[in-house]
């Protein structure tokens, strides 16, 4: 009898160890705003260097690439030309926002950076740091790819090469990589 009880106990214990709560798929649209794959991108409105207003707030006509950067960041300098080339290639299909984390930078340095690298995509200025805080930016650069439903599809911490980012863009656009 003790062996049967022990066998039953072991079987139930193994069953619990193997069984896992079903995890939410990254493809599931949720209303929760989190800077994580599968969740709504945190909403924001920022004014750019060009004095235009830029928003991320749920569904949109085009996917958006959010690249958080600072002018003093070496990897940001290295990836800036690639971001510009991808903007020139995909700008009609994908919005590119180069979010300057101005709390870690200065508007003057950001403007000089944009001019030096001849960046033509929008540069929203996170003057108060609220957006970079909502996106939990801890390193520069940090890039998010957000689909037309407003869902984060990719988070990249650190520099990303143009080939890899282009593959991510093709995937979010539904094109073959």
Out of 41, 56, 65, 76, which one is annotated catalytic? 76
Asked if the structure places residue 21 within a domain, the reply is: no
Span 151-168, pLDDT tens digits: 999 999 999 999 999 999
Q: Average pLDDT of 115-143? A: 97
Asked if the structure places residue 16 within a domain, the reply is: no
Asked if the structure places residue 120 within a domain, the reply is: yes
- Which CATH number do you get for residue 108? 3.40.30.10
Asked if the structure places residue 144 within a domain, the reply is: yes
31 pLDDT band, cuts 50/70/90, is confident
Predicted TM-score (pTM) above 0.85 = no
Q: Specify the 3-state DSSP secondary structure of 104.
A: helix
Q: Give the pairing of strands 64-69 and 95-100.
A: parallel
Catalytic annotation present for 73: yes
Out of 66, 70, 73, 123, which one is annotated catalytic? 73
Q: Specify the 3-state DSSP secondary structure of 111.
A: helix
Catalytic annotation present for 76: yes
176 pLDDT band, cuts 50/70/90, is confident
Owning domain of residue 121 = 35-44+58-171
Number of domains in the chain: 1
Asked if the structure places residue 14 within a domain, the reply is: no
Asked if the structure places residue 166 within a domain, the reply is: yes
Mean pLDDT of all residues belonging to the chain: 87
Sheet arrangement for strand 95-100: 95-100, 64-69, 142-146, 152-157
> What are the structure tokens assigned to 149, written together?
């439903």
Asked if the structure places residue 129 within a domain, the reply is: yes
Asked if the structure places residue 136 within a domain, the reply is: yes
The span from the CA of 145 to the CA of 114, in Å, is 21
141 pLDDT band, cuts 50/70/90, is very high
């Amino acid at each position: 009898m003790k062996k049967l009880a022990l066998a039953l106990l072991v079987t139930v214990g193994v069953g619990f160890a193997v069984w896992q709560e079903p995890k939410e798929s990254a493809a599931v649209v949720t209303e929760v705003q989190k800077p994580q794959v599968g969740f709504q991108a945190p909403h924001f409105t920022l004014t750019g260097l060009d004095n235009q207003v830029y928003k991320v707030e749920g569904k949109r006509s085009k996917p958006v690439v959010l690249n958080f950067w600072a002018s003093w960041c070496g990897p940001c300098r290295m990836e800036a030309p690639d971001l510009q080339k991808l903007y020139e290639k995909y700008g009609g299909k994908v919005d590119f926002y180069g979010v300057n984390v101005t709390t870690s930078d200065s508007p003057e340095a950001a403007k000089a950076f944009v001019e030096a690298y001849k960046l033509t995509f929008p540069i929203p200025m996170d003057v108060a740091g609220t957006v970079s805080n909502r996106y939990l930016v801890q390193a520069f650069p940090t890039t998010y790819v957000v689909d037309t439903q407003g869902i984060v599809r990719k988070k990249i911490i650190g520099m990303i090469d143009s080939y890899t980012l282009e593959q991510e863009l093709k995937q979010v656009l539904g094109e073959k990589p």
